[in-house]
Chains A and B, each alone.
Chain A
Amino acid sequence: MEIRLSDIEKNKATYKDYRILRWLTSVDHKEIGIMYLWVALLFFVVGGIEALLMRTQLVMANNHFLSPDVYNQIFTMHGTTMIFFVMMPALFGFQVYMMPLMIGANDMAFPRMNAFSFWITLFGGLLLYFSFFAGGAPNAGWFNYAPLNESAYSSTSGIDYYCIGLLLAGIGSVSTGVNIIVTVLKYRAPGMSLKMLPLFVWMSFVNAFLIIGALPSLNAALSMLLLDRQLHAHFFNVASGGSALLWQHMFWLFGHPEVYIIILPAFGIYSEVFQVFSRKRIYGYSFVAGSTVAIALLSFGVWVHHMFATGLGNTVNAFFGASSMLIGVPTGIKIFNWLGTMYGGSIRFTVSMLFAIAFLIEFTIGGLTGIAFSIIPIDWQVTDTYYVVAHMHYVMVGGSLFGVLSGLFYWFQKLSGKQLDEKLGKIFFWLFVIGFNMTFFVQHILGIMGMPRRVYTYPDLPYFTLLNLCSTAGAFLMGGSLLLLFYNIYKTARKKELDRSDPWDGFTLEWLSTALPGQKNFEALPEIKSRRPYWDLKYPDKADWKNDDKERK
């Protein structure tokens, strides 16, 4: 379809009229999506500075840059921030912005609840950070084990703020989950069956069930902890008959699905990016979609692999070891299908695609070290060391954050009407990937050599300073490269002219819409007959429904 210049001009005119109040009161899914992304960026800067402070403290043995008290607050806040207020809002941002566009809807099913979810998440984050001014930030780690989280061992109000902040964000997440499910079920374009959903939408849909299944366990645990701390209840307080392990069970029953809540939408982004930049349909749609369901179901039956060293006994451990190893199978299928999608294609190395390709390798490393933790005796050796820190960052950064960056470069034109600079983007990509591997690869070795996680300093053992120095240098390289990304965003946002609305020759409906934030998405929709409706519309001779060129469905 031709893009009419008048449309773009019209969009530009309305775009200019924005005022702050408009954003504060908005119920438009695109504006809420943008705000989610800004909030994620804000907290990302804060969490990133915390990471650099930690790496500065750890640059050499017996360093005294930060006191243990400060260091413990900072590593707790880094983890909590990055998971709950960076990765989740960033992925929600893409989901609430893109999902309605991709299924041909004009908004989410419940626009006001959508706004509620966003604001309550933001307030949760602000409340968490208010703890710094209220006597001290939480200091018992992001998973906040009992009984260290009880007032007897953590007497500042930090952990109370942690409870309330995460409860608020948790309520926001659950309501977004409900919103996504209803939107996908009720607001798809006529003709678009569930089997025709773009994979990003499919994975967000499955993910929403994970959210409403997993978050209640966290919310319950946080409420119980708050009762313990404020009203002297005895849930987790061993001295008065509570159970320290109950917290771990409740937290990880949420916590493991949470890891997938953070990775599945990123998998969705990669699935779109691999298709568009290989100029091909996905290889094995049903396997990619089905393995997502398998991962979601398995995720509720693996939580004890965070607790193999708590002495639950060999029988319990063996069950959870087996279920955790099995996760490797559907994940392996996905990696293979993405490779299969590129196979036989015509690959364009855009920044978005580069991040997706780098993800394949980094995530394989993170996935394999993950399997190491499911083999229980190996877990006993390497759990709670820097090996875990390395593993976790390979999946969270190499998996999820690369997905967000890939999505940002892929969709930036849809978010703002303008395209990010690809040249600057490529420099950023290389610096970031090199910095990332420098920072985290050596941490595997540190872990095996005996460096426990969450230590504010370490003795001068052979190679410890050398490897930590490498890690710190890598962290600063990552930090520096991010400045380049921020400059890229700033430069692009200031551009006067709008770019073409379908820069990548996209396949799915979001590229058909020329709407910018605040506007109606679609006046009319084409007939949906395949998984690539916009492709069918642009290339009627090569339409998928006409021309099933032996690609598997």
Chain B
Amino acid sequence: MIYLDHNATSPLRPGIAEVVFSALSQLTGNPSSVHGAGRASRQKLDEARRAVAALVEVHESRVVFTSGGSESNNLALFGVAAHRGFQGTILTSSVEHPSILSTCEQLAHRGMKVIRLPVDSAGRVDPADVAATLDKSTVLVSIMAANNETGVLQPIAAIGAICRQAEVLFHTDATQWMGKIPLLPDSFHVDLLTLSAHKLGGPKGTGALIVGPSIRLEPHILGGGQERGRRAGTENLPGIVGFGAAATQVKTAMTTEAEAMARMQQQLEDGILATLPDAVIFGNTAQRLPNTTAVGMRGVDGETLVMTLDLAGFAISSGAACSSGRTTPSHVLVAMGVEQEFNQSAVRISLGWDTSAHAVDLFINAFSRSVNRLRKGSHF
């Protein structure tokens, strides 16, 4: 089986499983306990915090560990909104992850104004739109760094600069970006940054929100005062320790991996277009992550195609792996103006740190064979 669905989740990087296992078996203490076992746990927690901080080059006090990317997004939005008494406007985009979009809906119910900026046909938010829409009532701008379905990068440096000048907080969901390209929140003027461990080769069930030095936010989970009062609950220590180890690895490997992935992405897309000249790569006029290819073709149902490929030994996805049994068309592609037929046909191939060029070759073959077979059986 060849796994090309890294945007859904990535396998643990080499050595991380051992780190997690050893934490599971050895770190018996609760980091809040004062005895030796507790202090040993606290020390590992602090080390992991420093490793994650180092990945994004911020002070460790700015790392708030959470249960994952979704919680980080919830905390960023609710935390700022609650601190502002649920008043004012939040600016976001129409291609965000559901954890942003549905949190925004909740905030709208509580009386906040939410503006969802459109994207162009390549899936990008126009920074000029951000600048034009910002006003005195805006309390937060939340625009993702890279899209999970298409890999399209948002102009976050430009948006960050605009927000900074307007003195408005800027949050970016870097769940998919981090681990593939370096992202330093301070040089991008990012005030709040969402990270997920399992998307960068760390364990599931842990993530972080990187919080700017002087930013006040209300906790989203109460009771216990962990994480400097910003996130209560006994820390997921093995997960966090694994996250730290993955962050350290990513920090050194990222650039080399990105180059390798970019070559394979080119190989993949060239290969697909050579055998299926009418295929469309979504967002291909925009800058994209080096690992994500979303492709659509007339006359092929995406769901059926991924099933066929699964039988052939390739794991890819027909859209975002999120909630269960979703058959509605991708909101991301809809926002990009992709017509219904293409939208239904879209599949996502996402490469990872363990992908080889050989696997990509095998995939291209299987992909074109599957598409051709499905087309023969279809009405077209």
Do these two chains really belong together in a complex? Answer: no
Binding site for B on A (CB under 8 A): none
Where the two chains meet, the residues of B that have a C-beta atom closer than 8 Å to any C-beta of A are none
